[in-house]
Amino acid sequence: MEPLDRHIRRHGFFLRRRDLLANGFNDHAIRASLKARRTFRVRQGWYSVPDAPADAVRAVRVGGRLTSVSALASYGLRVPRRDTVHIAVARTGSRLRDPNNKDRRLSATDSARVHWGDARGSEGSAWRVSIDEALLAILRAESRFVVVACCSAVMRHRMMSVTRLDEVFRRGPKRVQPWRELVSALDDSHGETLARLGFLDAGMPFEQQARFPGVGRIDFRMSPHTYVEVDGGQHDPAWTGGGTSRYESDHDRDATVAIAGGTTNRYTYRQLYGDWPRVVAAIERTAADDRALSAYRRRHPYRPAVSAQRRRSQKKQPL
């Protein structure tokens, strides 16, 4: 028989005692695995392994499953961060525990938000609901930005068809129905969603994911030669997350755009979330100057300056 911890891991990180007994393990094997710290008791009757996702452990310990933005994050989607973990619990749920301590009852001050009405027989796993149910929870409780950002992330990564998304919105509250038209698979991050919605609200024209020769895609084109890039943490020179920092390559891209007569405006998440009026003012000024300069250049085409020595050498050339 395979080791108990491997068995739990193979079945999705969480199993109940009755499932372990049904699969051939006895109480002695369970106690031995606990003593060796290859497994641990999440809550009464539930067991897991040390490498289980931290938020998943919190959800099962409370007595439910991850839902809303917490569930989407567990599927690998980059969604707006939340300090609380969102947990779906059955309407008949009881004996809810503290997400960080199985020996304490859940209290109103704990860093967990409970969504009542989870159907244990629905799609998903023992520790998270399906993407459809997670989105539905978001539609019922979150703001326009969070709803659009999460739906756009799902569509961007092709984790749902257009028809399925339409069905999720159909099941959602009436107030969210107009937001369906705002979902875009072009959003590469929730920062881009925030910027795009901000541009729409401000009446600023833009082209998303504009193609630029020698560079590739740029997040937004705001005027003939004005571009906007939204920089997440991976654009920082001190980036220590997954993959390499894009700081140097970003500067190479900006140089290519500048040589062709364009201007790239870069904004961090801090600016987008905390200083949006100044971001808009900077973009509007840059775009206005670009349009004025473009009009001037149409009347006076740009010609590179020719040095005096080069002019003399050109005059000396025989006809």
> Which of the pair, 2 or 179, is modelled with greater confidence?
179
Confidence band, pLDDT 50/70/90 cuts, at residue 241: very low
Least confident residue range of 60-64, 88-92, 226-230, 303-307: 303-307
Per-residue pLDDT tens over the stretch 4-39: 999 999 999 999 999 999 999 999 999 999 999 999
Share of the chain above pLDDT 70, in %: 89
What's the rounded mean pLDDT across residues 44-70?
Answer: 94
Looking at the chain, the number of H-run helices and the number of E-run strands are 13, 12
**Does pLDDT of 183 surpass 80?**
yes
What's the rounded mean pLDDT across residues 100-121?
Answer: 83
Give me the pLDDT at residue 118, please: 82
How far is 276 from 258, CA to CA, in rounded Å?
Answer: 25
Residue 117: φ, ψ to 5°: 110, 15
Confidence band, pLDDT 50/70/90 cuts, at residue 238: very low
Give me the pLDDT at residue 251, please: 87
Least confident residue range of 97-111, 183-197, 214-228, 256-270: 97-111
Question: Do 68 and 138 form a contact (C-beta atoms < 8 A)?
Answer: yes
Least confident residue range of 108-112, 285-289, 294-298: 108-112
How far is 145 from 150, CA to CA, in rounded Å?
Answer: 8
pTM of the full structure: 0.84
**Does pLDDT of 158 surpass 60?**
yes
